[in-house]
Amino acid sequence: RLMQVRWSRYNPSFLEPEVNKELYQKPLEELTEEEREQMELKAVRPIKAAPPSLSSSVFSDPMVSKFTNMMMKEGNKVLARSLMTQTLETIKRKQLEKYHKAPENEKETIECNPYVIFHQALKNCQPIIGLSNITKGGKTYQVPVPLKDNRKRFLAMKWMITECRENKHRRTLMPEKLSQELLLAFNNEGPIIKKKHALHKMAEANRAYAHFRWW
């Protein structure tokens, strides 16, 4: 009999909570078929408690909280959160400096919202295709494999954090280095984008082994 190692305190019939206020204020007619089914299911099944990082206010963003959790060391959420807010602040400052120095016609192209920059930068860093090790006939080959959305987001965030922790001068602080990297990624430059392109090139080079994949 298999012993479950990854289990949760909730019964498997519990559903995930939906925090977005606007979805609840939509009138019934505007919902699609699937959403109606979802609503009926939710009316009957019990629902898990909302985790402490999730809230319906405008300031909570699931992507940002995921990134903060990944940056956190030894459970020090306070420090991770403050680093994140400082990073967003530095991004805003840098962009505002650029904005005030730029001539009139370029002022509209400069993006000042740090959340937009964060999302766009991470989106630019996401690889489309990944490599996985498949053993066939005694030899291990690197086979190009399509990645799921979650995996892409995780890889982008992981590369960002490792890049900022390792390749920096001893005296620069994390928020400054992170904001630098995010701005470079926003413009499709920088070491993380290079890493993504290197991965794509490896996948293209190993195209011959693509038929080894059975899923």
Partner 1 sequence: EIQWGEDGRPFHFLFYTGKQSYYSLMHVTFEKLLNVQKYQDQLIAQDLPLQKEKRNLAGSRWLTKIELEEMLLEKLSDDDYSRFIQLLQKLVALPGSDIEEKYIQKFSKEVPVQMQKVVIEPLQHDERGVAFSTGEGRRKTASATAVVYDNGTGKMTVNGIGILHYFPVLQDSREQLLFPFQFLGRVGKHDAVCTVSGGGRSAQAGAIRLACARALRSFVTEKEVEFMRQAGLLTVDPRVKERNKPGQEGPRRKFTWKKR
3-state secondary structure of 167: coil
Contact 83, 69 (CB under 8 A): no
Short-list 25, 165, 205, 182, CA closest to 116: 182
- How far is residue 9 CA from its own chain's centroid? 26
Site string for partner 1, 59-78 (x = CB under 8 A): xx----------------xx
Q: How many other C-beta atoms can be found within 10 angstroms of the C-beta atom of residue 80?
A: 19
Token pair of 79 as six digits: 């420090």
Token pair of 45 as six digits: 């099944």
Among 66, 72, 81, 112, binds partner 1 (CB under 8 A): 81
When asked if residue 24 is in the footprint of partner 1 (CB under 8 A), the reply is yes
When asked if residue 42 is in the footprint of partner 1 (CB under 8 A), the reply is yes
Contact 83, 182 (CB under 8 A): no
Stretch that binds partner 1, among 2-10, 142-150, 160-168, 195-203 (CB under 8 A): 2-10
When asked if residue 210 is in the footprint of partner 1 (CB under 8 A), the reply is no
Its sign, for the CA torsion 58, 62, 65, 71, is negative
When asked if residue 43 is in the footprint of partner 1 (CB under 8 A), the reply is yes
Among 22, 32, 34, 44, binds partner 1 (CB under 8 A): 44
When asked if residue 162 is in the footprint of partner 1 (CB under 8 A), the reply is no
Stretch that binds partner 1, among 9-17, 86-94, 95-103, 128-136 (CB under 8 A): 9-17
Among 50, 70, 110, 173, binds partner 1 (CB under 8 A): 50
